[in-house]
Structure 1
Amino acid sequence: MRLAAFRSTAEDAGARHVGLVLGDAGPDRSTAWWIHPFAEGTDLIELLAADPVDRERLADEAAQADGLAPTDVVLLPPVYPVAMRDFLTFEAHVDGMERGMGNPGPPAAWYDAPVWSFMAPHAVTGGNDDIPIPPYTERLDFELEIAAVICRDARNATPEEAHAAIGGYCVMNDWSARDVQGKEMTLKLGPSKGKDFATTVGPWVVTADEVDRFRDADGFLDLAMTVRVNGVEIGADRSGNMGWSFDQLVSHASRGSWVKAGEILASGTCASGSLAESWGRTGSLNPPPLQVGDVVEMTIDRIGTIRNRVVASQPAVAAVAPARRQLRTEQSA
């Protein structure tokens, strides 16, 4: 089952509804799907957490009503998350990034346990939204990821218990200002301004039960992932190449802590799923950083496609002032 958040093109920007997505994309990548609205007030996270029988009943009711065509709606982020965690689970991606920093490959600590960075929940954008290029970067990059939407609270959960907390999955693009990110992380913190301007999630959430049959023998969701820029394929991988399963990620995050309903937990970038990984492997900016007018399209099999155009930056704000330096006096022994 695919669940979307949307507003009609005739509504104000603040409108938000939840709908059932029926139909599919055609072989020529054209859209042939419709959104059938649920009753007003329906909450997508609560729908993910509902008993499957009840959810199917509500979906059947929604399907009886007339559907809205893609041209009639604006797809919104399916979730405005209460928190976002971005993991680092693809070994090949870590290898490429480390080599770009002069290291021989993944550090030994990477294999010990999954690590993540917290992201800015208010920066989420819809699956077809334009993305203004930040005025302070010359190295705009994309990151192809698969993300899990949490529908039940979890604390100290086993992987088996964590599985029940995952309501569904969506495609995620963790946009990155690589020049800014690199400078920030030399201070052993961040990324901050290198990441806080946009994170695309969408186009909708596919319920976990819909894709569970695509798990491999070790319980890893195994779906094809591709990214194209201006119609040219730049990278491809499979989610089955993650170092940890989503059940393990949720379980680990919940150790001595809470993972709350409404969170998004993302896989991190897949192999060849970013420009920076190619830069690290080749030692050159090839393919080049994203520019105004570029269209980034990400597809995960059985989940969907997000497609975003890079547009000119919003009005510039004042540059940040450097730190005030403190005078230091040497004290004699």
Structure 2
Amino acid sequence: MRWVSYRSTDGSSRCGVVRGDMIHAVGTNLLELLRTEGGLAAAATKEPTEVVPLATRHLLAPVPVPPAVRDFAAFERHISNAGKAAVGDGTVNPVWYEYPIFFFSNPAAIKGPHDEIPIAPGTQLWDYEVEVAAVIARDCSNLDARTAEECIAGYLLYCDWSARDISTSEMKFVFGPSKSKDASTTLGPFLVTPDELEPYRSGKGFALRMDGYVNDEHYGGGSWDEIHWSFGEMLAHASRGTTLRAGDILASGPVGTGCIQELAGRRPYLAAGDTVRIEVQELGAISVRVTSHEPS
């Protein structure tokens, strides 16, 4: 199944399952559906409150305000490329191979798949990231990596908009990224249930393309099955000694060459007026316009 959240004609937010080119609305909030008995599977059997054309509705992020957002760095090629671009050395720190590392991002910064993206204040090096993310189906803790994917409600496309010059400064201290990452995060357009992706299972991921474009020019990308840390391994690590809640977002980090930072001067960073399109096979695409910084 593919699920969406959208703005109805009366201005209210609704969510529903996509059947063909129509949305069958069965609720007002996808997070609430995840928390009800039976989750999305049960919700899909409800009589729709409205049936509307997908093409005519303004899509929101499938989970507009997730309880928590964790962003990992699960693709080895990205880590190596980023090191080469930053210091001329693509050697991956051995710690990266010990366990999947993540940082917490900002749930209040979530944007929909076609919302404009203002450049964060104070940056000259504004970047996108081609990522995939899992949405947690139910509260869970201390998961086993071998079975943790049973707690995934679905997958979606994730773009972590990044201020690279600010990040360079922040990463000199042990806390890691903060203001370089909390201005905007784009989710969507669909939450795709795991059964839809199972035919593409390959390695620790899926044999699905992940690509980024700026002004219709292909900048880079790769395949989901290049991933070093599986989502089961990421969930197991994140849930150790704590609780993942229904609706939590866990993102993969960018695929190799899935951001401008990795291209080492071969492509310019983003400017106001640029259009960015990020595509992941079976998950759809986001397409957004970059704008100048919004004054506070």
Question: TM-score, normalised to structure 2's length?
Answer: 0.92
* CA offset digits 1:38-72 (Å, max 9, x no partner): 145663423796274x34423xx33x95323423x
* 1:74 to 2:63 alignment: no
Separation in 1, partners of 2:9, 2:27: 19
Question: Hey, what's the Cα distance between the residues in 1 that align with 2:146 and 2:6?
Answer: 33
The alignment yields a C-alpha RMSD, in angstroms, of 2.0
TM-score, length of structure 1 as denominator length: 0.83
Higher strand fraction: Structure 1 or Structure 2?
2
Q: Kindly state the Cα deviation for residue 209 of structure 1 after the two structures are TM-superposed.
A: 1.8
2:198 aligns with 212
Instruction: Name the structure 2 match of 1:50.
Output: 39
Whether 1:88 and 2:73 are equivalent positions in the alignment is yes
Distance 1:174 1:48 in 2: 32
Q: CA deviation at 1:98?
A: 1.1
Other-structure match for 2:173: 187
Deviation at 1:178, TM superposition (A): 0.4
Match runs of 1:32-43 below 5 Å: 33-39=21-27, 43=32
Secondary structure (helix, strand or coil) at the match of 2:211 reads: strand
1:44–1:78 CA contact under 8 A, matched in 2? no
The one-letter code of the counterpart of 1:22 is R
Matches within 5 A, 1:285-300: 286-300=266-280
User: 1:257 matched to which residue of 2?
Assistant: 242
Residue 287 of structure 2 corresponds to 307
Once residues 70 and 127 of structure 1 are traced to their aligned partners in structure 2, the CA distance between those partners, rounded to angstroms, is: 13
Provide, for residues 23-51 of structure 1, a one-character-per-residue CA deviation record: whole Å limited to 9, x for no partner.
3xxxxxxxxx3322114566342379627
Instruction: Give 1:135 deviation, angstroms.
Output: 2.9
Matches within 5 A, 1:101-250: 101-102=86-87, 103-216=89-202, 218-250=203-235
**Distance 1:104-1:57 versus aligned 2 partners, 3 A rule:** closer
* C-alpha contact (below 8 Å) 1:36/1:68 kept by paired residues: no
Percent of aligned pairs with the same amino acid:
37
The aligned amino acid for 1:179 is D
Q: Tell me the SS of whatever aligns to 1:252.
A: helix
Extract structure 1 runs of 4+ deviating beyond 4 A.
39-42
Q: Please say which structure displays the higher CA radius of gyration.
A: 1
- The number of residue pairs the alignment matches comes to 293
- Aligned partners of 2:36, 2:221: CA distance in 1, in Å? 32
Task: Give unpaired runs (5+ residues) of structure 2.
Answer: none
Paired amino acid for 1:34: M
By how many angstroms is 1:159 displaced?
2.1
Q: Check conservation: 2:82, 2:90, Cα contact below 8 A.
A: no
Post-superposition shift, 1:134?
A: 1.9
Alpha-carbon contact 1:184-1:192 (below 8 Å) kept: yes
How far 1:308 sits from its partner (Å)? 1.0
CA distance in 2, matches of 1:196, 1:112: 27
